[in-house]
Structure 1
Amino acid sequence: MTPIFRTRDAERLALARYRDLLDEWPVPHSHCMVPSGIGETFVLSCGPSDRPPLVLLHGAQANAASWLADAATWARHFRVHILDMPGQPGLSAPSRLVPTSHAALCWLDDVMDGLGVVNASFAGISLGGWMALSYAVSRPGRVAQLVLISPAGIGRQRAFLLKAWPCLMLGQWGLRRIRRMVIGPVAGTLSPFHAKLASLMEYIGLHARIQPIVLPRFSDAALGSLAMPVMAVLGGKDVLLDSAHTRVRLERCVPHACIHWRPEAFHFITREAETIQAFLLAPDARGMP
C-alpha cells in the first residue's frame, strides 16, 4: 500500500494539526468511526439531529476540514455529515478507495446505513463531486438533492499535471505554485481559525503524495437519468477541468439543473455557502434561475 504522506513525521504532524483544528471548531459537533467493507470511515456531524441529512464529500488531497466554513452555515438547517474519504489525508482507513469500483458505492452504502440515513442531500467537490454524482446515478433513491462544485466526470479533464510537471521538480516552492494555480489567491483577511484551516490544507498539499486520477466521464444517458434537483457551481479559471464543457453537457443532459457560472473562480470555489443553502432549502429547486 502506497503511504498517503511522503514521510511518517509529516503524517503525524498533519493529523495532529487536523485533530487540534476540530477541537477548536466553535460549531457544536460530534464524530464517530463508521465501519465499512474497506475499513473505518471518520464522520464529523453537526446540526440538529432532527433536521434533514446532508452528506459532504471532499476532494483529493483533503479531508473534512475543507468543509468546515460551509458546514457552519448549513448546520443551522441540516444534520450535516462530513466524511473523510478512505485513502485520503484524513482520519479514515488508509485503504485506497478506487472511485470507479463497485466497492466505492458499497462504501457509501455502508456509511449511510451506519449513520442510520435512508436518503440525504449530497454535496461534493472535484473528486467528491464525481463520487456524489456516481452515487446519484446508481442509487437515485438515496439522493434527495445533488450539489456539485467543480465536479469531475462531466466535462473534459485537462492534462494539468503534464503542464505542471516542471514545478514538481522544484520542491515545496513548485508545489506551492501548483497549489496557487489550482485554488487561486486567498481573497480577503482570514480569521485566526480560518488562517489555521488554510495553513493545514496547505501543509497537506505540500506533504501528501500526489495521486494522478483520470476519472471517466458519465454518459449522456447517465446524466439524463438524474431526476432529483441538481445544482452545479463552476469556475471559469479551473485548470483541472474544462468547466465550459461541463456547463454545456449539464445544460443539454440535465436541463433542470441550476448552474452557477463563476468566470473568475478557480478549481476550489469558496464563499458559496449561502447560495447552496438557498438551493437546498428551496421548495422546488428545479425552479431556481
Structure 2
Amino acid sequence: MPETAPTFRSTLHSTPETFATAYDALLARWPAGTAARTVPTPYGPTRVHSYGPPDGPPLLLLPGGGSTGTAWYANAPALGARHRVHAVDVLGDVGRSERAGRPLRTPQDLTAWLDAVLDGLDLPETALCGHSYGAWIATGYALHAPRRVRRLALLDPTQVFGGHRPGYLLRVLPMLLRPTARRVGDYLRWESPAADPDFARLYVLGATLPGRARPVVGRTLDPSPLDLPVLALFAARSRVHDAARTADRARRLLPHARIDILPGLGHHELPTAGAPLVDPLLLDFLDARTIDA
C-alpha cells in the first residue's frame, strides 16, 4: 500500500469506457467465485456482487457515496469465509445500477428500492453494513424496516450521528461544483492519503463522469429509536467530522451499541485500507461473540 494516494492530472479523461475499465480492475481484486447479478426493482436494475457460502448468513454491503459495490474487495475474503456477502451498486450513484421506471427522488424511494433489492435476493432479513453515505442509507432502512435488519454496522457514518464539519464542506465545495480529475484527486489525498490507487482512480473517474446523476440525499437522521444490535466504527483521521465527538454522540444516542474509533485511518480508507482493523471487529459483531442479539 503506498503512503499517499496518487495524483490525477486533468488529462485523465472520464468516459463510460474508462470508467468501465477501472470498475473491472477493482472487481478483479475480488476473490475467485464472486458472482454478479442484476436485480430488477421498480426503480431500475441493480447490480450486486456476491461471495461466500450460499447457505451462509447474509450480509448486505452498501458503499460510500461516489463508490461502487466493488469497493468491498479487501473485506470480501474475510467476511465471505463465514457469510454470504452481497455488495450493492447504490441506485442513483455511480456504478452499474441504472435508473429506470419509477423516479428515485427521496429517502423514502431509497428505502423502497432497498426493499425490492432484498426481495430480489430472496432475503427476508439480513445483516446490513454501510460506509459513509451507505451507512446513512442503511440506518434509514433499519428505521424503516427493523424486522428485516438482523444487525446494523456503520463505518464512519455521515448524517447519522451529526452533520459534516463546516470546514470540510468549504473544502469540498469547489470539487462538487466543478469536479475535475485534479480537484477530486487532491481531495482524496487531503482526506485519505492512503486510499488504494485502484479505488482512487475509479472514484475520480466516477466523480468526473459526464452526465453523472446526483445521488438522493436527505436530512441527518435520529438513530435513537433503533432497537437492534448496532456497531459504529469511526475513522480517527476523518476530516468529514470529529471522530471523538461524533463517537461520543453515538454513545449517547445508542447506549447499547458498540462504538470504536479506528486509529490512523481517513474517511475513504474505509473499508479498503482499513480491512485489517475493520474485518475482525465486524465479524465479531456479526457472529455475536461480544454482543448479545
- Per the shorter chain, which TM-score range? 0.7 to 0.9
Distance 1:56 1:126 in 2: 12
TM-score (norm 2): 0.81
Distance 2:184 2:213 in 1: 10
Matched, 1:74 2:67: no
Deviations 1:206-260 (CA, angstroms, capped at 9, x unpaired): 54759597642223xxx23222111111123222234334212211121111111
For 1:175-186, what aligned pairs fall within 5 Å after superposition?
A: 175-186=184-195
Matched, 1:146 2:155: no
More RCO (CA 8 Å, sep 6+) = 2
Distance 2:229 2:87 in 1: 21
Structure 2 regions of 5+ residues with no counterpart? 1-11
Contact kept, 8 Å, 1:236 with 1:265, in 2: the verdict is: yes
Matched, 1:155 2:162: yes
Contact kept, 8 Å, 2:14 with 2:209, in 1: the verdict is: no
Q: Structure 1 residues 137, 164: closer, same or farther in 2, change over 3 A?
A: closer
Structure 1 regions of 5+ residues with no counterpart? 1-6, 187-193
Q: Structure 1 residues 246, 119: closer, same or farther in 2, change over 3 A?
A: same
2:37 to 32, 38, 41: 32
The one-letter amino acid paired with 2:156 is: S
For 1:1-289, what aligned pairs fall within 5 Å after superposition?
A: 10-23=15-28, 25-94=30-99, 97-98=104-105, 100-153=106-159, 154-159=161-166, 160-165=168-173, 171-186=180-195, 196-205=198-207, 207=209, 211=214, 215-219=218-222, 223-268=223-268, 269=270, 270-271=274-275, 272-283=278-289, 285-286=291-292
Contact kept, 8 Å, 1:27 with 1:72, in 2: the verdict is: no
TM-score (norm 1): 0.82
Deviations 1:71-102 (CA, angstroms, capped at 9, x unpaired): 1211110011111011222100146844x531
Give the 4+ runs in structure 1 shifted more than 6 A: 167-170
Instruction: Give the Å deviation of 1:40.
Output: 0.6
Aligned-pair identity in percent equals 30
Q: Structure 1 residues 103, 280: closer, same or farther in 2, change over 3 A?
A: same
Distance 2:179 2:25 in 1: 31
Q: Structure 1 residues 251, 170: closer, same or farther in 2, change over 3 A?
A: closer
Contact kept, 8 Å, 1:256 with 1:286, in 2: the verdict is: no
Q: Say which SS state the counterpart of residue 38 (structure 2) adopts.
A: strand
Number of residue equivalences: 270
